[in-house]
Amino acid sequence: MGDKHHHERRYQFRRYQAKIFRNPYFRNSASRYQRPWKQYLIIVALIFVFGLFVYLIGFLPFWMIQGVRIEGLQFMSSGPVKLIATEQLNKHRFLFFPERNRIFFDSDELSKQIQKQYSFQSLEIKRQKKTLVITAKERVSEIMWQSNDNVYYVSMGGVIIRKLSEEERSYFIFRGSSQPIFENKLEMYGPYPILLYLNSLGLIVDISKEDVAPGSKVFEKGSIPGVIAFQALLPEVLGLSVVQNMIETKDSPWLRARTSEGFDILYDTNEDIASQIQNVKSVLQTEIKDKSSLSYIDVRFGNHVYYK
């Protein structure tokens, strides 16, 4: 018993020397205060490092896009496209980082926003150092489309390109007129180049007033050459001009042309235009004595010509 007791005492004494025991009523004051202070210091340091990282990556002027350059446009002003790009650059991503930052700039989103308003043949967006460069190639337009008091340029493929700008629309009201009434800065630049261009384009008015948007197809590709040919040949053969073409259904090849003398000509854009105009000429020479009472001539059905 003595040896066992002596061994137990030595075991407890070694545990005491190892300081395994802790009195819950007498904690080490140094550990109580120093450890939280170190933790707070580490937390503050981590926050500082994270904030510095966010600033260096997200807000340092080195990363920012400073300007926008538009290239490739020939007919339309670059201002509206530049405005769309600038508005996106002034937005934020992830509710925090400026979109102007080259790292967080979304070129796909900008392309989507531009294509909502303009249907370009090609559109390229790239960054050159601190400049955003947008290169756009316009579709060739020979036709205008009017629906719900809105007027659009239409490509040779029958696709809506874009809506006329406010300035173009102000000139559009003088289409077919020789009245050069413009004031202030508009008179300085002169309406004649724009009027000449607008008058050279065929106009199709959608009677159904169906809503359209850039990129939507409104006319068959094969029908557009017929519209252009009709507008070119009618003055040459009959001395008449087309004020506007009217259509009841999108993609229909049948148009109703309002002439400068007030009567209409119903023609098929997919059939031979020269033959149809010759049929109009024959009717006017042999059947119509008073054109003032003429409502329309229908030449859509070959040699079967109808008039009222």
pLDDT digit string, tens, across residues 166-194: 877 777 766 654 444 343 333 334 445 66
Where in the chain are all domains bearing CATH 3.10.20.310? 62-137
- What is the structure's pLDDT at 175? 62
CA atoms of 298 and 39, how far apart (whole Å): 92
Q: How many CB atoms lie within 10 A of CB 122?
A: 10
- What is the structure's pLDDT at 256? 93
- What is the structure's pLDDT at 298? 92
DSSP state of 292: G
Assign 3-state DSSP to the chain and report helix, strand, coil percentages, each to 5.
40, 25, 35
Query: Residue 10 belongs to what H/E stretch?
Result: helix 2-17
Confidence of residue 50 (pLDDT cuts 50, 70, 90): low
pLDDT digit string, tens, across residues 107-134: 888 888 888 888 888 889 888 888 889 8
3-state SS, residue 41: helix
Average predicted confidence (pLDDT) for the chain: 77
Where in the chain are all domains bearing CATH 3.40.50? 141-307
DSSP secondary structure of 47-75: HHHHHHHHHHHHT-GGGB--EEEEES-SS
22: which 2 tokens? Answer: 């802790």
Query: Residue 285 belongs to what H/E stretch?
Result: helix 273-286
- What is the structure's pLDDT at 88? 86
Burial 174-187 (b: 16+ CB within 10 A, else e): bbeeeeeeeeeeee
Sequence-distant (6+) residues with CB within 8 A of 264 are 246, 256, 257, 258, 295, 296, 297
Residues 81/118, Cβ–Cβ less than 8 Å: yes
Residues 162/214, Cβ–Cβ less than 8 Å: yes
Q: Give the mean pLDDT of 189-218.
A: 76
Range with the poorest average pLDDT among 21-25, 185-189, 247-251? 185-189
Sequence-distant (6+) residues with CB within 8 A of 135 are 71, 72, 122, 123, 124, 125, 126
- Which amino acid would we find at residue 222? G
Residues 146/213, Cβ–Cβ less than 8 Å: no
Range with the poorest average pLDDT among 136-140, 181-185, 259-263? 181-185
Q: Is the pTM of this model over 0.85?
A: no
CATH H superfamily, domain 62-137: membrane protein fhac (3.10.20.310)
CA angle 37, 40, 43 (to 5 degrees): 155
CA atoms of 15 and 127, how far apart (whole Å): 71
pLDDT digit string, tens, across residues 59-76: 566 677 888 888 888 777
CA angle 234, 238, 242 (to 5 degrees): 40
DSSP secondary structure of 198-259: HHHSEEEEETT-----TT-B-S-GGGHHHHHHHHHHHHHHHS--EEEEEESSTT-SEEEEEE
Strands 122-128 and 131-137: antiparallel
Listed residue (284, 247, 281, 254) closest to 268, CA to CA? 254
Sequence-distant (6+) residues with CB within 8 A of 12 are none
154: which 2 tokens? Answer: 């239409």
- Does 3.30.70 match the CATH number of domain 141-307? no
